Amino acid sequence: MDRITKAARLMIVSDLDHTMVDHHDPENLSLLRFNALWESNYRHDSLLVFSTGRSPTLYKQLRKEKPMLTPDITIMSVGTEITYGSSMLPDDGWVKILNQKWDRNIVIEETSKFPDLTLQAETEQRPHKVSFYVDKTKAQVVMKELSSRLEKRGLDVKLIYSGGMDLDVLPQGAGKGQALSYLLNKLKTEGTLPVNTLACGDSGNDAELFSIPDVYGVMVSNAQEELLQWHAENAKGNPNIIHAKERCAAGIIEAIGHFNLGSNTSPRDVADFVECKLDRVNPGYEVVKFYLFYERWRRGEAANCETYIASLKASCDPTATFVFPTGVEKTLHECIYAMKGCYGDQTGKQFRVWVDRVLSAPIGLNTWLVKFDKWELSGDERCCCVTTTKINAKGSGGASDGYTWVSVQQKWLEGYEKKDTSIWLF
């Protein structure tokens, strides 16, 4: 979080499964739309928080399966674990809070007396979370009796039922809502409380997120009955919480626009980048725009015309260089010319390109150094390059006139090298 030295313009706190990630969308289009919006408009001055019931093991597994961005903060295991950055540095202060009136051994002992409870996989059992499956027809009776027994044993616990089958036993101080409250208080103490916060969810364990004062909330259109019932009973008249018309990540984009929290036009929704003009141009938008055009060109979705090629060349300094991850160096103009021969070579195929962690720093009056991870999905193969670019602002109008690419250098992200590099273009 130290990359932002002042209050974030927007902090999005989102559940993952069936909220940010749509498991019924094999093309992941809503997620890719959100990715492009975030990296082009928000990454440089806002915070992205993933709040999931998944354990670290299953969270990392999901990241390998879906084109997810890297969050600034990750809240896992139903609010019992908070970590920071790509290195996932744990928050020790949160651990101390959760240790109060909690004894995992007693929880295991008492829950073993309930035949209707079935332990979930070992990966889902965490220091401050014990997870079970229980039929929804038995859930309320089991929860009432279990809560009473644990209280008599001196524990102060919270029982969260979600998805019509998942029961989590946590310390009373845990949960997605408490974790978010802890974060907001921490940021406030540091003088960097976000200007706006948007909480996003679809199931019962997300309800707490919508109970925090001064936080906007969106229940995506595919929200489960348990969350909609909670809303009807507790927050029906709250104008700061909406039930989106769109599914999953598309519902999050909808909420950004509904609450006027910033731009909600994803670059993936822009038909013609040449004609597109933004009020808040930044290096992130330039990078996203370039790689989206590259994807469309390879998929045959952009018009095969000299106007686009000329526009690309005009955005590159004549002496601009590109250092491939293999170490080969060419001029950017050579790479653009080579791109002409690959038009539509991915038509009808599963080919997607997205960028992650787009961060820029000024290194001169009108010059920026931009670093990001460039991902490319082709069929079943996912590869990634850690990319560093240098770009200059065009003309006397500064960044509002656009940018000129001066250099690009790539290296493979370990474990995500491309097998056949003969057609690696950008």
In a domain, 426, yes or no: no
Q: How many residues does the chain have?
A: 426
Q: What is the pLDDT of residue 291?
A: 95
Same domain, 401 and 309: yes
In a domain, 2, yes or no: no
Q: What is the CATH number of the domain that holds 127?
A: 3.90.1070.10
Cβ partners under 8 Å of residue 322, min gap 6: 329, 330, 331, 332, 334, 335, 407, 408, 409, 410, 426
In a domain, 214, yes or no: yes
Q: What is the CATH number of the domain that holds 373?
A: 3.10.450.50
Tell me if 200 sits within 8 A of 207, measured CB to CB.
Answer: no
Bridge partners for 113 per DSSP = none
Q: Would you say residue 28 has pLDDT above 60?
A: yes
Q: What is the CATH number of the domain that holds 39?
A: 3.40.50.1000
> Taking residues 294-298, what's their average pLDDT?
95
Instruction: Quick: pLDDT tens for 73-86.
Output: 999 998 999 999 99
> Taking residues 231-246, what's their average pLDDT?
94
Same domain, 71 and 190: yes
Same domain, 317 and 328: yes
Q: What is the pLDDT of residue 162?
A: 83
Domain endpoint, select from 142, 171, 200: 171
Instruction: Quick: pLDDT tens for 160-205.
Output: 888 889 999 999 999 899 999 999 999 999 999 999 999 999 998 8
In a domain, 421, yes or no: no
| Total structural domains within the chain | 3
Q: Which of 106-110, 204-208, 319-323 has the least mean pLDDT?
A: 204-208
Domain endpoint, select from 220, 245, 267: 267
Same domain, 156 and 236: no
Same domain, 293 and 363: yes
Instruction: Quick: pLDDT tens for 305-364.
Output: 888 888 889 899 999 999 999 999 999 999 999 998 999 999 999 999 999 999 999 998
- Number of helices (H), then strands (E), belonging to the chain: the values are 11, 18
Same domain, 21 and 65: yes
Same domain, 403 and 378: yes
At residue 398 the predicted structure's pLDDT band, cuts being 50, 70 and 90, is low
Alpha helices per DSSP H over 2-153: 29-41, 56-65, 92-98, 104-111, 136-152
In a domain, 47, yes or no: yes
Same domain, 212 and 310: no
Same domain, 165 and 183: no
Q: What is the pLDDT of residue 2?
A: 63
The residue segments making up the domain with residue 71 are 11-89+175-267
Same domain, 70 and 205: yes
Cβ partners under 8 Å of residue 385, min gap 6: 325, 373, 374, 410, 411, 412, 413
In a domain, 235, yes or no: yes
In a domain, 424, yes or no: no
Distance CA 281, CA 287 (A): 11
Q: In this structure, what token pair is assigned to residue 328? A: 């080969």
Q: Give the distance, in angstroms, between the CA of residue 144 and the centroid of all CA atoms in the same chain.
A: 36
Q: Pairing between strand 73-76 and 47-51?
A: parallel
Q: What is the pLDDT of residue 176?
A: 94
In a domain, 303, yes or no: yes
> Taking residues 274-287, what's their average pLDDT?
73
Same domain, 292 and 146: no
Residues above pLDDT 90, as percent of the chain: 81
Domain endpoint, select from 267, 283, 312: 267
Same domain, 210 and 312: no
The model carries a pTM of: 0.92
CA atoms within 13 A on the CB side of 73: 27
Work out the end-to-end distance of the chain between its first and last CA atoms, rounded to an integer number of angstroms: 30
